[in-house]
């Protein structure tokens, strides 16, 4: 007999068992279970309030959206609740026809009222993902048609409606349990707890149990309306540290390990598949100010200092650290999005140029600090602290007097967001899978632009490209605009894209249909 | 860093009244005041330090939307002045309401109901193990004073209190899980393992109540390794304390008298030394227990044990004030209650006891 | 320190400290760590922050303790780590002992209501889960070793306050204090001139007992990412890198052993000092 804790426990207990008598254990009917292990990035299973990776993965399966993507694709929307859709020429009006077969798990038909309710609720609860609905109005001309309108051309609406945050709830049940889509939903909506106890969507699985720290269990929706029925009786999504994920998937204790780095995925053995995709996250470095600035002054980094940093960083070393499948990020837009730059466009380290630029830059002996997510923060297996240490070494070689200033996300993020970092190392994951997300976030005067000390009106060329890209509807012209925007950014912006890590999924060979998706990582519905 | 670790005698507080009932009432009142003191100090300290809980708990896009920020602040009362926030906290506390956690968005009381039993379970097992081993080693140490066994045990117990718990946990996990495969993985149960119906929240006990032995065995096998790691520290503390209390009594006249009477050494030790020392040893075990609750932070981190320590860590790095205060309250209340019980026990045993500090 | 040790030597039980093998072992270990810390640049075989393309090399002749995920030499980092862990734990103890002693002295000397209030406050701190508060403070101040020291000092002073107060209450009953008060000495003078010598011994012993704890807490905070910042080679944060890559056993094992030996050495010294102290004060320390 192999000695282990279980056997020690059973020896210790045998006497107790004898006195208590034999207890019949319920026989387990053969059920097909899937165990998915990940480090939880989860707040709830309320679509309108959840915007984290694990939440997206689970909600994508519980709640269907109007449109969705198949497999690892994030560019061609396919029907989900909407069987047909139409976009007007100016990309301001989007008409969706609801599939007449679509039914919620309790058998109720999905109507346009449910869609309007769910989308307005998302907008009005003012939760984390609510900003996805900015500028979008929802209307229902009849029971099977939904129309989304925007004031200016917004071609990315088709991408936005695939976000799990726009999942469709059964409005009757939701309202009966405290949900509200009214303007004051931020305070009036009381459905959060209810939505953690059960799901009211139309997906192939329903929520069985929810625990924020240990596991979320999904159960087959026996009455699923679609063609792709659930492949498993139960899906268990567990919160497990990365190193244990690796071990469990090798041992076969779990079916899928979500968070391994390429490094950890190597040498996992022959019993498992390693699925490789490109992560949608891009790590970037930026210089906001030269030094000693106060946030009130809109003080931007000296272009020469930026140039010194841009050409001083050893990108090859960073890509090697990131491991197999990772690539240098030539621009901030990830490789699989429209208008992404090619590897040949990427900046290459040029120490001589960097040193020359540094000599012309005004900071010399002034110490500057680099902010980042410090308490062990890691995404796609890459730790911010290690990346920061790599960049730090290169910048010091150029002449910068850098000092690393990492902090827990709760502390470092506010500093970054308040434009109070001199330099920062962060990453951007798309809010919706479309290149506009980048032009609208990194241009002068936009969200991240401001954090980098890049105010509106600072660069007319880049702003012009940004505006054009936002309203252009022709796919080819859009792509060209995104490319030029990034090239200009690489010349003058304080932004230095570093690395696009590999996204790795490791799954037991028995699991079919595994592919890595940039937004919801694993499409649980597709697994058989 | 608390004196707890074997070295506090909180019972020696000034007693001015004489009757038993006034004594109990006074001690109860002090205890309640202490709990409020804990809320006050944790509240002030967390208010004094900078940090923006709103940004910490809202995502990228949401934080840049002033409406969303305002909604969040209103929901959690963060838009109120600080004294008002504290006043509200205390008045709610009096009604048993610990506020709503900023990170889990659930009532803190609900959260604690879930996480506290998990930690309680390993801490209880750890104290139990530590008490047995610590008593045994302490007695051996005391009766072989300054000879080889005593010296060895002294080194052993000092090593116990010198080991960084997070490293011990890591090393134990590496050896027993990764290399030997004896221990099951992280967490409290197998993947998808159904927790027994909640009565106490302790999975082992609940499983027994439910007559479900397979779940009991499973839960027990999962908790054993973290509990042993947690116990190592407590063993050191209890061994040292047992030795010290026994030596103190061994020096007393009545022990010499008993020996002079020609009683066998074993009987002398058992009847005249161990018995009187036992109460104070158990006291220390009780106090050590409350420090294990807090000490579990580092151990739970390694074992992904969904307990109070993990909750405290998340609350701290998320600047989740209600969460931090909730954890502090629970641990402090356990500590204060332990001291209260001990005080009352001493008073019953020795009504003549007076302030000696 | 030597002056205090001499004082111990002169006292009745004193010279026993040098005859206690544990104390000698402890002092030797600390001497070795101090030596390594001071002469780190000459002893460490590599630059502690030098990175290159490889990673996670197993221990070998070239890298005695292997390398970490940025291929930094772990042995060199441990040597440099002594420059962080030792001085900061000592600093921490000095700060909390000073703060605690002052508060305790005020409490004991003033007596009455002041004493009652201060003692209730220390009670509250004892009831407090120190590490939880330290985590919160360190997280909010921003993790830096300096802030971790502040955070721990905030929770660590009461034990000294209680000790000093107790000693002062004892000393107050002594004739010479009463005498000097009668002679019109100021309170401050009485405290500094007459009482200090009686206090410094026990406080020093308590402090020596607490250095180990301080090191444990400090490295614990760093382990959680709330202490020293990268690329600093701090032992606790090195262990946390081992926790992330725990199948590479050498990454976490050796820094942990460094912590263990240092803490153990301090505890050997503290424990022996306490035994060398006269029994009554030793008892006060235990209480």
d(CA B164, CA B162): 6
Distance from CA of C281 to the nearest CA of B (A): 13
The arithmetic mean of pLDDT across residues B320-330, rounded, is 87
Q: In this model, does residue B16 exceed pLDDT 60?
A: no
What local confidence, expressed as pLDDT, does residue A8 receive? 43
Tokens of C70: 């940025």
What local confidence, expressed as pLDDT, does residue C14 receive? 47
What local confidence, expressed as pLDDT, does residue A167 receive? 96
What local confidence, expressed as pLDDT, does residue A297 receive? 39
Distance from CA of C81 to the nearest CA of A (A): 16
A118 contacts A169 by C-beta, under 8 angstroms: yes
What local confidence, expressed as pLDDT, does residue C193 receive? 64
Q: Tell me whether A395 touches chain C (CB under 8 Å).
A: no
Closest partner CB to B319 (pick from C140, C155, C268): C140
d(CA C160, CA B143): 32
E-strand stretches of A80-197? 82-87, 93-98, 136-142, 145-150
The arithmetic mean of pLDDT across residues C38-60, rounded, is 86
Tokens of C262: 């240092």
d(CA B88, CA B67): 24
d(CA B201, CA B111): 12
* Closest CA in chain A for residue C227: A375
Domains and CATH numbers, chain C: 20-38+69-277 (1.10.3720.10)
Percent above pLDDT 70 for chain B:
88
Higher pLDDT, C176 or A22: C176
The continuous run of DSSP H or E covering A407 comes out as: strand A401-407
Q: In this model, does residue A374 exceed pLDDT 60?
A: yes
Q: Tell me whether A165 touches chain B (CB under 8 Å).
A: no
Instruction: Confirm whether B193 is domain-assigned.
Output: yes
What local confidence, expressed as pLDDT, does residue A2 receive? 39
A48 contacts A117 by C-beta, under 8 angstroms: no
Tokens of B266: 């074993």
d(CA A12, CA B85): 51
pLDDT tens digits, A40-68: 888 889 999 888 889 999 999 999 999 99
Q: In this model, does residue C2 exceed pLDDT 80?
A: no
Question: Which residue in C252, C215, C249, C250 sits closest to C237, CA to CA?
Answer: C252
d(CA A521, CA A54): 8
pLDDT tens digits, A336-367: 888 999 999 999 999 999 999 998 887 777 78
What local confidence, expressed as pLDDT, does residue A228 receive? 87
Instruction: Confirm whether B16 is domain-assigned.
Output: no
Closest partner CB to B192 (pick from A217, A409, A417): A217
Closest partner CB to C249 (pick from B162, B174, B315): B174
Q: In this model, does residue B9 exceed pLDDT 70?
A: no
d(CA A135, CA B146): 81
d(CA B335, CA C102): 26
What local confidence, expressed as pLDDT, does residue B348 receive? 74
Q: Locate tokens 């605009």: which residue?
A: A481
pLDDT tens digits, B256-302: 777 778 778 778 777 777 777 777 777 777 777 877 877 788 898 88
B192/A253 Cβ within 8 A:
no
Distance from CA of C243 to the nearest CA of B (A): 7
* Phi, psi for residue C26 in degrees, rounded to 5: -60, -50
ipTM for this model: 0.86
CATH of the domain at B207: 1.10.3720.10
Mutate which: C46, C48, C51, C252, vs A, most A CBs within 10 A: C51
For residue A40, what is the DSSP state? -
What local confidence, expressed as pLDDT, does residue A434 receive? 86
Q: Which residues contact B96 (CB under 8 A, 6 or more apart)?
A: B109
What local confidence, expressed as pLDDT, does residue C279 receive? 60
* Phi, psi for residue A216 in degrees, rounded to 5: -120, 130
Give the 3-state secondary structure of residue B137.
Answer: helix
What local confidence, expressed as pLDDT, does residue B60 receive? 56
Among left, alpha and beta (phi > 0; psi -120 to 50; other), residue A308 is alpha
Q: Is the dihedral of CA C14, C276, C161, B42 positive or negative?
A: positive
| Residue C149: pLDDT band with limits 50, 70, 90 | very high
Q: In this model, does residue A176 exceed pLDDT 90?
A: yes
| Residue C17: pLDDT band with limits 50, 70, 90 | low
d(CA A81, CA A111): 10
Higher pLDDT, A110 or C232: A110
Give the 3-state secondary structure of residue A424.
Answer: strand
Q: Are strands A256-257 and A33-38 parallel, antiparallel or unpaired?
A: parallel
End-to-end Cα, chain C, rounded Å? 25
| Residue B342: pLDDT band with limits 50, 70, 90 | confident
Which of A258-267, B74-83, C76-85 reaches the highest mean pLDDT? C76-85
* Domain of residue B137, residue span: 107-317
What local confidence, expressed as pLDDT, does residue C224 receive? 87
Q: In this model, does residue A310 exceed pLDDT 90?
A: yes
Number of structural domains in chain B: 1
Q: Tell me whether C231 touches chain A (CB under 8 Å).
A: yes
Instruction: Confirm whether B207 is domain-assigned.
Output: yes
pLDDT tens digits, C187-205: 666 666 666 667 788 888 8
Instruction: Confirm whether B331 is domain-assigned.
Output: no
Q: In this model, does residue A16 exceed pLDDT 60?
A: no
Q: In this model, does residue B143 exceed pLDDT 50?
A: yes
What local confidence, expressed as pLDDT, does residue C26 receive? 94
Among left, alpha and beta (phi > 0; psi -120 to 50; other), residue A267 is left
Q: Tell me whether A41 touches chain B (CB under 8 Å).
A: no
Question: Which residue in B133, B149, B161 sits closest to B4, CA to CA?
Answer: B161
User: Could you say which residues from 353 to 412 on chain A have a Cβ atom under 8 Å away from some Cβ of chain B?
Assistant: 375, 408-411
Question: Which residue in A518, A526, A30, A54 sits closest to A245, CA to CA?
Answer: A54
The arithmetic mean of pLDDT across residues C43-69, rounded, is 86
Higher pLDDT, B295 or B202: B202
A130/B62 Cβ within 8 A:
yes
Higher pLDDT, A148 or A240: A148
Tokens of C152: 């721990």
Q: Which of B16-25, C163-172, C175-184 has the lowest mean pLDDT?
A: C175-184
Higher pLDDT, A179 or C247: A179
B75/A187 Cβ within 8 A:
yes
Q: What Rg value do the Cα atoms of chain B yield, rounded?
A: 24
Question: Which chains share 3+ C-beta pairs under 8 angstroms with B?
Answer: A, C
Instruction: Confirm whether B162 is domain-assigned.
Output: yes
Between the CA atoms of B288, B294, B298 and B300, what dihedral angle is there, to the nearest 10 degrees? Answer: 100
Distance from CA of A293 to the nearest CA of B (A): 19
List CB contacts (< 8 A) between C142 and chain A: 405, 407, 411-412
What local confidence, expressed as pLDDT, does residue A13 receive? 41
A336 contacts A74 by C-beta, under 8 angstroms: yes
| Residue A28: pLDDT band with limits 50, 70, 90 | very low
Q: Which of A119-123, A410-414, B273-277, C5-9 has the lowest mean pLDDT?
A: C5-9
What local confidence, expressed as pLDDT, does residue B12 receive? 43
* Phi, psi for residue A145 in degrees, rounded to 5: -125, 140
Higher pLDDT, B195 or B166: B166
pLDDT tens digits, A99-157: 999 999 999 999 999 999 999 999 998 887 888 898 899 999 999 999 999 988 888 89
Tokens of A510: 């028995």
What local confidence, expressed as pLDDT, does residue C187 receive? 63
Average pLDDT, chain B: 81
User: Could you say which residues from 407 to 446 on chain A have a Cβ atom under 8 Å away from some Cβ of chain B?
Assistant: 408-411, 413-414, 417-418, 431
Q: In this model, does residue B141 exceed pLDDT 60?
A: yes
Q: In this model, does residue A20 exceed pLDDT 70?
A: no
Instruction: Confirm whether B89 is domain-assigned.
Output: no
Instruction: Confirm whether B39 is domain-assigned.
Output: no
Instruction: Confirm whether B355 is domain-assigned.
Output: no
| Residue B352: pLDDT band with limits 50, 70, 90 | low
Question: Which residue in A80, A84, A33 sits closest to A59, CA to CA?
Answer: A80
pLDDT tens digits, A71-103: 888 888 999 999 999 999 888 999 999 999 999
Helix ranges (H only) for chain C are 2-10, 16-19, 21-38, 40-43, 74-110, 112-127, 130-141, 145-156, 158-172, 175-182, 187-189, 196-223, 235-244, 249-276, 279-286
pLDDT tens digits, B52-100: 677 666 655 566 677 777 777 777 777 778 888 888 888 888 888 888 8
A317/C49 Cβ within 8 A:
no
What local confidence, expressed as pLDDT, does residue C184 receive? 63
A384 contacts A248 by C-beta, under 8 angstroms: no
Closest partner CB to B313 (pick from C135, C264, C285): C135
Percent above pLDDT 90 for chain A:
46
For residue A73, what is the DSSP state? -
Q: What Rg value do the Cα atoms of chain A yield, rounded?
A: 25
Give the 3-state secondary structure of residue A17.
Answer: helix
The arithmetic mean of pLDDT across residues C266-272, rounded, is 90
pLDDT tens digits, A146-173: 999 998 888 889 999 999 999 999 999 9
């Amino acid at each position: 007999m192999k000695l282990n804790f279980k056997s020690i426990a059973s020896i210790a207990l045998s006497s107790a068992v004898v006195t208590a008598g034999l207890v019949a254990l319920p026989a387990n009917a053969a059920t097909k279970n899937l165990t998915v292990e990940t480090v939880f990035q989860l707040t709830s299973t309320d679509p309108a309030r959840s915007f984290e990776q694990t939440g997206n993965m689970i909600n994508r399966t519980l709640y269907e959206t109007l449109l969705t993507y198949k497999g690892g694709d994030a560019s061609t929307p396919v029907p989900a609740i909407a069987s047909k859709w139409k976009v007007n020429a100016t990309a301001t009006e989007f008409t969706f026809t609801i599939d007449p077969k679509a039914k919620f798990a309790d058998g109720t038909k999905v109507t346009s009222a449910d869609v309007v309710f769910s989308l307005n609720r998302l907008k009005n609860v003012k939760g984390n993902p609510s900003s996805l609905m900015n500028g979008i109005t929802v209307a229902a001309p009849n029971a099977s048609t939904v129309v989304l309108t925007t004031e200016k051309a917004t071609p990315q609406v088709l991408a936005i409606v695939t976000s799990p945050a726009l999942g469709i709830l059964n409005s009757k049940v939701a309202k009966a349990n405290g949900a509200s889509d009214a303007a004051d939903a931020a305070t009036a909506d009381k459905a959060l707890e209810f939505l953690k106890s059960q799901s009211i969507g139309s997906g192939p699985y329903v929520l069985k149990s929810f625990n924020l720290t240990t596991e979320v269990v999904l159960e087959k929706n026996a009455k699923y309306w679609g063609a792709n029925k659930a492949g498993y009786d139960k899906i268990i999504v567990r919160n497990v540290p990365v190193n244990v994920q690796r071990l469990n998937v090798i041992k076969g204790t779990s079916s899928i390990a979500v968070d391994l780095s390429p490094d950890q995925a190597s040498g996992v053995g022959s019993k498992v598949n390693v699925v490789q995709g490109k992560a949608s996250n891009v790590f970037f470095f930026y210089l906001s100010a030269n030094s000693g600035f106060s946030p009130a002054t809109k003080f931007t980094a000296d272009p020469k200092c930026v140039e010194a940093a841009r050409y001083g960083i050893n990108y090859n070393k960073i890509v090697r650290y990131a491991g197999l499948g990772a690539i240098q990020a030539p621009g901030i837009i990830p490789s699989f999005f429209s208008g992404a730059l090619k590897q040949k466009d990427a900046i290459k380290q040029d120490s001589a140029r960097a040193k020359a630029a540094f000599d012309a830059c005004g900071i010399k002996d002034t110490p500057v600090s680099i902010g980042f997510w410090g308490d062990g923060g890691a995404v796609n297996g890459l730790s911010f602290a290690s990346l920061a240490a790599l960049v730090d070494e290169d910048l010091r070689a150029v002449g910068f007097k850098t000092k690393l200033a990492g902090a827990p996300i709760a502390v470092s993020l506010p500093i970054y967001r308040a434009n109070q970092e001199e330099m920062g190392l962060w990453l951007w994951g798309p809010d919706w899978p479309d290149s506009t997300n980048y032009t609208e976030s990194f241009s002068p005067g936009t969200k991240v632009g401001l954090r980098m000390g890049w105010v509106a009106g600072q660069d007319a060329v880049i702003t012009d490209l940004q505006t054009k890209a936002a309203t252009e509807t022709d796919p080819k012209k859009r792509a060209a605009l995104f490319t030029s925007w990034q090239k200009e950014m690489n010349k003058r912006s304080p932004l230095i894209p570093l690395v696009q890590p590999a996204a790795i999924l490791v799954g037991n060979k028995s699991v079919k249909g595994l592919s890595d998706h940039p937004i919801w990582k694993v499409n649980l519905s597709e697994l058989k | 860093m608390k004196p707890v670790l074997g070295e506090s005698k909180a019972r020696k507080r000034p007693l001015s009244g004489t009757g038993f009932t006034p004594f109990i009432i006074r001690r109860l009142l002090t205890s309640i005041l202490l709990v409020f003191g804990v809320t006050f100090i944790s509240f002030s300290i967390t208010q004094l330090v900078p940090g923006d809980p709103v940004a910490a708990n809202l995502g990228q896009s949401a934080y840049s939307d002033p409406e969303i920020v305002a909604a969040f602040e209103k929901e959690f009362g963060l838009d109120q002045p600080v004294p008002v926030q504290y006043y509200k906290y205390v008045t709610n506390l009096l009604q048993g309401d610990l506020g709503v956690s900023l990170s889990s968005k659930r009532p803190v009381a609900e959260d604690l109901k879930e996480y506290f039993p998990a930690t309680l379970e390993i801490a209880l097992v750890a104290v139990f193990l530590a008490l047995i081993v610590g008593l045994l080693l302490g007695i051996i140490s005391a009766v072989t004073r300054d000879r080889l066994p005593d010296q060895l045990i002294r080194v052993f117990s000092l090593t116990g209190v010198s080991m960084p718990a997070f490293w011990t946990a890591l090393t134990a996990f590496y050896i027993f899980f990764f290399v030997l495969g004896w221990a099951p993985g992280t967490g409290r149960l197998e993947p998808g393992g159904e927790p027994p119906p909640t009565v106490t929240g302790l999975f082992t006990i609940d499983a027994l109540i439910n007559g479900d032995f397979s779940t009991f065995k499973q839960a027990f096998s999962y908790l054993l390794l973290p509990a042993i790691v947690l116990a190592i520290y407590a063993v050191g503390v209890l061994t040292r304390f047992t030795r010290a209390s026994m030596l103190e009594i061994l020096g007393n006249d009545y022990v010499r008298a008993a020996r002079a009477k020609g009683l066998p050494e074993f009987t002398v030790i058992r009847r005249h030394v161990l018995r009187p020392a036992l109460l104070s040893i158990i006291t220390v075990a009780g106090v050590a227990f409350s420090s294990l609750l807090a000490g579990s932070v580092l151990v739970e981190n390694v074992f992904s044990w969904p307990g109070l320590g993990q909750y405290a860590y998340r609350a701290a790095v998320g600047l989740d004030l209600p969460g931090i205060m909730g954890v502090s309250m629970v641990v402090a209340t356990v500590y204060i209650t332990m001291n209260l019980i001990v005080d009352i026990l001493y008073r019953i045993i020795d009504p003549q006891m007076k302030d000696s500090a | 320190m030597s002056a205090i040790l001499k004082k111990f030597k002169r006292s009745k039980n004193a010279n026993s400290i040098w005859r206690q093998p544990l104390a000698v072992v402890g002092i030797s270990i600390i001497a070795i760590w101090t030596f390594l810390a001071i002469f780190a640049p000459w002893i460490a075989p590599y630059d502690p922050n030098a990175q290159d393309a490889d990673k996670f090399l197993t221990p070998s002749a070239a890298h005695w303790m292997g390398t970490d995920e940025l291929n930094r030499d772990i042995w060199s980092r441990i040597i440099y780590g002594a420059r962080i862990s030792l001085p900061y734990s000592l600093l921490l103890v000095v700060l909390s002992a000073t703060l605690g002693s002052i508060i305790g002295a005020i409490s004991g000397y003033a007596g009455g209501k002041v004493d009652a209030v201060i003692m209730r406050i220390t009670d509250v701190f004892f009831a407090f889960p120190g590490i939880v508060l330290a985590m919160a403070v360190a997280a909010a101040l921003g993790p830096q070793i300096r802030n971790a020291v502040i955070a721990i000092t905030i929770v660590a002073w009461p034990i000294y306050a209680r000790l000093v107060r107790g000693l002062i209450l004892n000393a107050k009953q002594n004739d010479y204090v009463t005498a000097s008060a009668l002679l019109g000495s100021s309170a401050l003078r009485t405290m500094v001139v007459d009482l200090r010598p009686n206090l410094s011994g026990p406080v020093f012993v308590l402090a020596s007992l607490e250095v180990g704890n301080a090191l444990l807490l400090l490295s614990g905070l760093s382990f959680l990412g709330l202490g020293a910042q990268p690329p600093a080679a701090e032992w606790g944060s090195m262990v946390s890198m081992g926790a992330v890559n725990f199948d590479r056993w050498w990454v976490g094992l050796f820094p942990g052993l460094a912590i263990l030996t240092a803490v153990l050495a301090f505890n050997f010294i503290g424990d022996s000092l306490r035994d060398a102290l006269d029994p009554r004060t030793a008892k006060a320390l235990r209480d």
